[in-house]
Chain A
Amino acid sequence: NAGVTQTPKFQVLKTGQSMTLQCAQDMNHNSMYWYRQDPGMGLRLIYYSASEGTTDKGEVPNGYNVSRLNKREFSLRLESAAPSQTSVYFCASSESPLAPQETQYFGPGTRLLVL
């Protein structure tokens, strides 16, 4: 099992460009999440998908869109990148959408630099 995979690992964008971050999991998990990690800020939730076919906003959704393509895949799109979106992005998954005791499994991250 590869667990949670993310592509690309690193990306440089110019202000105003768009891109999509890809995430896939092979653990048959129902729930998937996108976080951003900034120094001194910890992890902040951008969007999540409790189950296939549903998506919801997290703490910092502005400037982002998501698509739960199928049970395995959850993508994050930046339509018009801004320097404030320079961050490390993590995708995570967990088995059950309504089980708060569930552990989350994280991908290796995507480092995004917006110039």
Chain B
Amino acid sequence: AQSVAQPEDQVNVAEGNPLTVKCTYSVSGNPYLFWYVQYPNRGLQFLLKYITGDNLVKGSYGFEAEFNKSQTSFHLKKPSALVSDSALYFCAVRAPSGGSYIPTFGRGTSLIVHP
């Protein structure tokens, strides 16, 4: 079975500082990993994904994520946080084959960027 853990319910960061939102996963085989963002009263929006290749993936709004196979992690990062980045962030994993292609989502991490 596949699973995703987002160990922090909330992350607080000052505007202009770097931010990291953590995600670890468990899946058989090489994973497909996703980050989505949810702004208040909105649906989820795709940010970025890792399929294969370069471990550093760049996505929308200046976000990037680093795939680390040995640590089974896919942390979301941004060099300089904006107040407008405040939102709920979800990590998701999909198994590449041999099982359900349905993604499993983490519980979400609330990012709060203080002015």
CA distance A23 to B29 in the complex (A): 33
- Band of interface residues on A: 20 to 34
Q: Is B75 an interface residue (CB 8 A)?
A: no
Shortest C-beta distance, A37 to chain B (Å), equals 8
Q: Which of B9, B34, B107 has a CB less than 8 Å from the CB of A103?
A: B34
- Residue from B43, B45, B90 in contact with A42 in the complex, judged by beta carbons closer than 8 Å: B90
Tell which of B41, B90, B101 touches A99, judged by Cβ atoms closer than 8 Å. Answer: B101
Contact of B107 among A40, A90, A104, A105 (CB under 8 A): A40
The answer for the CA separation of A110 and B45 in the assembled complex, in Å, is: 16
The tally of CB-CB contacts under 8 A between chains A and B is: 54
Give CA–CA (A45, B94) in the complex, Å. 14
CB distance from A46 to the nearest CB of B (A): 11
CA A106 to CA B43, docked complex, whole Å: 6
Given known contacts A42-B90, A43-B90, A103-B34, A98 and B45 CB-to-CB distance under 8 angstroms: no
* New contact pairs (19) apart from A40-B107, A90-B44, A92-B44, CB-CB < 8 Å: A41-B107, A42-B106, A42-B107, A43-B108, A48-B102, A58-B102, A98-B101, A99-B101, A100-B94, A100-B97, A100-B103, A104-B46, A104-B103, A105-B46, A106-B36, A106-B43, A108-B42, A108-B43, A109-B41
